[in-house]
Amino acid sequence: MKEQGHVAFILLGANLGDRQSNILQALQYIQVRANIVKISSFYETEPLEGSDQPEYLNMACQIETNDGPKELLQFLKWVERRMGRTISEKYAPRPIDIDLLLYDDLIIRESDLWIPHPRMHERAFTLIPLAEIAHDFVHPVLNESIEALAKKIDASTVKKVNRSLKFNLERDIQGGQPSINIGLSKVGITNLNRVIRLGSEDKAALFYANLDFFAYLDPSKAGVHMSRFADVLEGMLEEISLEPTPDIESLAERLALQVVQSQRAKKAEVHIKARYPMERVTPISAKKTEELFTFIGIASANGTTSRRIIGVEAEGMTTCPCAQDMMAAHSRMLLEEAGYSKEEAMNIVSLIPMATHNQRARGTLLVGSNMPVRAEHLVHIVEASMSSETYELLKRPDEFFVVNKAHQNARFAEDVVRHMLFNLVEIYPDLPDETFVLAREESFESIHQHNAFAERSGLLGDLRAELLNKGEAPQSNVTLEEWLNL
């Protein structure tokens, strides 16, 4: 949970498809690598150069990021491509357009990167939304505030629009010989509940956590000292009350190292699940709500080396493509029986969201690497891979947004897992190939008495090879247990 280091302002625009949905989806992707601090209202404006194309919808956004300006720009361009922007022609219509306007107070003039944006001070559709969220920010080249620049420009073509949608013994029995000489894989305690403190001295928070402790037992020993697991935890909690652990995976690693020492074990594992509150904003009504997500920290240690994993569990919604396809075929048949031509029936059905059964779904994403990854960002990857994210608080326009989005993105459990892996590969190109990844999704079926389940684990380099070779590369399935086995 490292603090973000740089402030940047971006402009998002769209004039193809469902413009508001496109901008909101882009914001969801952007949250994977940046914190969104402020967003402006939506503003509608005519296209540049008086071209014959639909009107644009624009929104300014303030973000905090650890990426440098070039890395941030590359990521924003990836978001554009991920959302279907393929036309590079100047002023052409597009489903999403993202401009990097300002980055701290830097001035950069390179062939592929200009900061501040060279034409932002000339464009009302940029200055008006930007002035709403950054009125006192001073343009580093012009030395004037954004508010002052906005007052100089003709804003008659820019119109604000509302958001809408069309977790003391006598003898050491455990240390003695077992009565039956069969070794055990691992032993320990599960479901130990505690409040833990994570963060920094300046900014720490309390979390309700569930912990599992495991030791890899020497075959010559009867068992482990169960009370020592709790002793390790209580001692560590007292220690981190003075100096908090920065993140959940670091705490798991510290506990695993302590278990190895206290149990005199060959190896130890610690699994932690903590419920973490994240502020959410509903997509249309813009209502603020706080929702709980499960952050996961896993670590294994043998006393000299260790491995650790950061992960999340997040819920969303999936809709069934198979049932939707059947409904589409049935609808076309009814239209043809009513006198419409085959082509007319196909066109009508292509315009109307098709019914299908939907279900709540739980996605899990685990990443094992020495390179830090923010758990909050993994939440957004999981949600963006579902048919739609879900919200605790929903007004009617928000409800319509979620249902409409889900039915426009019908996905099986298998699809969700593939999207999670693809998004992780694309969004984190700097993660090393030896990084361990596990993606899992379970859909709680609405019309069946069973659940749908899909999972894939492996090394990131193998996943990249599969994607590069379009699935023809040999499939590697390194399991979580194998990766943790130092």
User: Which residues face 473 on adjacent strands?
Assistant: none
For residue 188, the model assigns a pLDDT of 80
How many helices (DSSP H) and strands (DSSP E) are in the chain?
13, 17
- Neighbouring residues of 363: CB distance < 8 A, sequence distance ≥ 6: 313, 314, 315, 316, 382, 383, 385, 386, 416, 420, 439, 440, 441
Judged by DSSP in three states, 339 sits in coil
CA atoms within 13 A on the CB side of 12: 27
Distances 56 to 7, 15, 130, 152, 227 between C-alpha atoms, Å: 26, 5, 16, 22, 64
Structure tokens at 107: 């001035």
- pLDDT digits over 176-196, tens only? 555 566 667 778 888 888 888
DSSP string, 151-198: HTS--TTEEEE--------SS-STTS--SS----S-EEEEEEEEEEEE
Task: Using the Cα atoms of residue 331, residue 336, residue 342 and residue 343 in order, give the sign of their dihedral.
Answer: negative
Which element (helix H / strand E) includes 127? helix 124-134
For residue 174, the model assigns a pLDDT of 47
CA distance 362 to 139: 45
Contact 239, 258 (CB under 8 A): no
For residue 2, the model assigns a pLDDT of 45
Closest CA to 411 of 385, 380, 450: 385
**8 C-beta neighbours (distance < 10 Å), count:** 24
User: Which residues face 388 on adjacent strands?
Assistant: 317
For residue 318, the model assigns a pLDDT of 96
User: Which residues face 209 on adjacent strands?
Assistant: 194, 274
Is residue 94 annotated as part of the catalytic site, yes or no?
Answer: yes
For residue 136, the model assigns a pLDDT of 94
pTM of the predicted structure, to 2 decimals: 0.82
Which ranges of the chain have pLDDT less than 70?
A: 1-4, 48-51, 87-91, 164-183, 201, 217-243, 471, 473-474, 486
For residue 74, the model assigns a pLDDT of 95
Is residue 197 annotated as part of the catalytic site, yes or no?
Answer: no
Catalytic residue among 18, 67, 97, 415: 97
Is residue 163 annotated as part of the catalytic site, yes or no?
Answer: no
- pLDDT digits over 322-335, tens only? 999 999 999 999 99
- pLDDT digits over 281-304, tens only? 899 999 988 899 999 999 999 988
Catalytic residue among 99, 247, 415, 462: 99
Catalytic residue among 94, 308, 411, 418: 94
Instruction: Name the DSSP class of 460.
Output: H
242: left (phi over 0), alpha (psi -120 to 50) or beta: alpha
Structure tokens at 147: 């508010």
**140 C-beta neighbours (distance < 10 Å), count:** 14
**471 C-beta neighbours (distance < 10 Å), count:** 8
**155 C-beta neighbours (distance < 10 Å), count:** 16
For residue 139, the model assigns a pLDDT of 96
For residue 43, the model assigns a pLDDT of 95
CA distance 309 to 54: 47
Is residue 85 annotated as part of the catalytic site, yes or no?
Answer: yes
Catalytic residue among 33, 85, 411, 440: 85
Contact 209, 272 (CB under 8 A): yes
CA distance 270 to 457: 19
For residue 321, the model assigns a pLDDT of 93
CA distance 332 to 344: 9
CA distance 45 to 368: 46
